[in-house]
Amino acid sequence: MLNAWHLPVAPFVTRREDRLTITLWLTGNAQPTRVSLRAERDNEEIHLLMTRLKRAPQPGVSAWQVTLAIHDGQPRRRYSFKLLWPDRQRWFTPQGFSDFPPARLEQFAVDVPDNGPQWVADRIFYQIFPDRFARSEPRSPEQDKVYWHAAAGREIILRDWDEPLTAEAGGSTFYGGDLDGIRQKLPYLKALGVNALYLNPVFVAPSVHKYDTEDYRRVDPQFGGDEALLRLREATRKAGMRLVLDGVFNHSGDSHAWFDRHRRGEGGACHSPDSASRSWYSFSPEGLALDWLGYSSLPKLDYRSPTLVEEVYQGSDSIVRHWLKAPWEMDGWRLDVVHMLGEGGGAANNLQHVAGISRAAKETRPDAYILGEHFGDARQWLQADAEDAAMNYRGFTFPLWAFLSRTDISGDPQHISARTCMEWMDNYRAGLSHQQQLRMFNQLDSHDTPRFKTLLGRDIARLPLAVVWLFSWPGVPCIYYGDEVGLDGEQDPFCRKPFPWDKTRQDTELLGLYQRLARLRKDSLPLRQGGCQVLYAEEDVVVFVRVWKQQRVLVAINRGDACEVVLGDSPLLREKNWQLNEGNGRLQADTLMLSAVSASVWSAT
């Protein structure tokens, strides 16, 4: 049986000056007589004959190699391998062997040079819903001001931190978390291992979630205003942490002065056909504003308007640019429902405008991280480089949910095997370059989903498996606030409970696991930069290895009963001295002995 081994990292891909050397390993019988590399030069397919090396990298392994010039052509180098015999051919791609040539976007891809933000893959993110993370004292009167929430038709509710969250007035209930509270908790986050923050919206808005923006150029007084954000920005710099904001550019709130449904000013688009901002929204022939998904408080922005384009992203002091400049100097944007942004009340010319947002951000801050929110397939935007990465629901969260908690995003049953889970994950990332895979935003849950702990139900013992997976799969891990201490919760609003700062209410064993894995990732180049090869995926067990040069990290996930797994003679695992870093599994020769419902991590050099 013939086997092939290649990952788009060293030792299989190495660079020296303007030359890129690509190597394929083969094991087994019936070796090909020729191997060629299918590559591209300015989108034109080329074939380069590979040379079989005289010296084998390991006994029983043949190595085929070719060198590419990288002084020309596009930075994204897509390639696959064509294996030839006198009477037949086969192709090798990230998803294995094929008897026919692969599609262009189903091949190996490596970015040389890599123009994306270099800092992202080395980070551990922490997502904060500002009202529910930490409350500072003392407070200004504006922070606890009761006001009429027009969209909800009621006054907002202020609750004490330890009051239970109820379904009443979900968008109008405040617990008083703020930006100074986040700043005061940075030592806790640093001890957790966090070195980057993503904040849900912080700009002026009437709701607790603040996706109904009222002013894109001011921080909400409830969160402490502009000065509190500056204090947090300075504190994160001193702590070595990056800070990413949430950009809600698909729609505004209906209380924004641009729209002004509630007639708090003059000249808003809602009631004035002659408004300077009338063209910034779309209206039906009857004069009704087109909104986002039936929420009348969220009128859609219409990017047919050149002046809106200037205001949001293109202008020299556009909203996108403003917060990336001094004194703010934020590190990037997470773009809310960005796939729906566009013209005419819909998503027309979406890719053009998303790319424009990204381009404006990069012109202002070259290392800005542009992260798109996509519950569906994000590869269209990523393959066009309109975004650096996406929230990896489709490529990580959902297959993990299906495998460990037997459910999908709709709450419908979805019970899959290990093989299906790995085919799903591998298929998704095969369409992305290696560097894009490393920047994908991996989460177990978020403010838009139930907490993963709650999804597990009676299978709560599987929670540590998911945490190990989060820190070891390609991509940047993001912890949704409170997950690390066992916070639970159903769908919104219950997934947005206040953080339990009382230590008697925290799962300290789970917190310790998060801290250990954060340290392990910080110390491991394979986990941050390495390629990933699935070695075994059957029934209840997933085993994969992360590879960086001669370093390896082996991860085994077992959702079922205690078992033994024979990995076979993989050249990626040979001649290594393995050390158990996490869990209680055992590795002897090519056999893993795994406890029931367990996750284990080994490393080797």
Q: Where are the beta strands (DSSP E) in 214-317?
A: 215-219, 242-247, 291-292, 295-299
Is the bond preceding residue 32 a cis peptide, omega within 30 degrees? no
- Distance of alpha carbon 598 from alpha carbon 560, whole angstroms: 8
Q: Are 469 and 476 in contact (CB under 8 A)?
A: no
Cα-to-chain-centroid distance, residue 237: 22
Sequence letter at residue 567 = L
* Residue 149 CB neighbours (<10 A): 20
Let me know if 373 is a catalytic residue.
Answer: yes
Beta pairing class for 173-174 and 157-158:
parallel
What tokens does 181 get?
A: 């509270």
Q: Considering the candidates 373, 385, 387, 448, report the single residue annotated as catalytic.
A: 373
Q: Residue 192, SS3?
A: helix
- Distance of alpha carbon 273 from alpha carbon 415, whole angstroms: 53
26 — alpha (psi -120 to 50), left (phi > 0) or beta? beta
User: Looking at the DSSP assignment, which residues form a beta bridge with residue 587?
Assistant: 592
* Residue 6 CB neighbours (<10 A): 22
Closest CA to 30 of 94, 100, 83, 99: 83
Q: How far is CA 245 from CA 189, 368, 387, 437, 483, in A?
A: 18, 11, 15, 21, 20
Let me know if 122 is a catalytic residue.
Answer: no
Q: Are 235 and 225 in contact (CB under 8 A)?
A: no
Q: Considering the candidates 212, 260, 331, 336, report the single residue annotated as catalytic.
A: 336
- Distance of alpha carbon 489 from alpha carbon 491, whole angstroms: 7
Strand order in the sheet with 369-372: 389-390, 369-372, 332-335, 242-247, 196-199, 125-128, 476-480, 441-442
Sequence letter at residue 360 = A
- Distance of alpha carbon 352 from alpha carbon 244, whole angstroms: 23
Beta pairing class for 541-548 and 531-538:
antiparallel
SS3 of 484-511 = HHCCCCCCCCHHHCCCCCCHHHCCHHHH
Q: At what angle do helices 508-522 and 463-472 cross, to 10 degrees?
A: 20
Count of residues making up the chain:
605
User: Looking at the DSSP assignment, which residues form a beta bridge with residue 77?
Assistant: 110
Which uninterrupted H or E stretch holds 90? Answer: strand 88-93
Sequence letter at residue 289 = A
For the CA atoms of 252, 253, 256, 261, what is the dihedral angle to 10 degrees?
Answer: 120
Q: Name the residues annotated as catalytic.
A: 336, 373
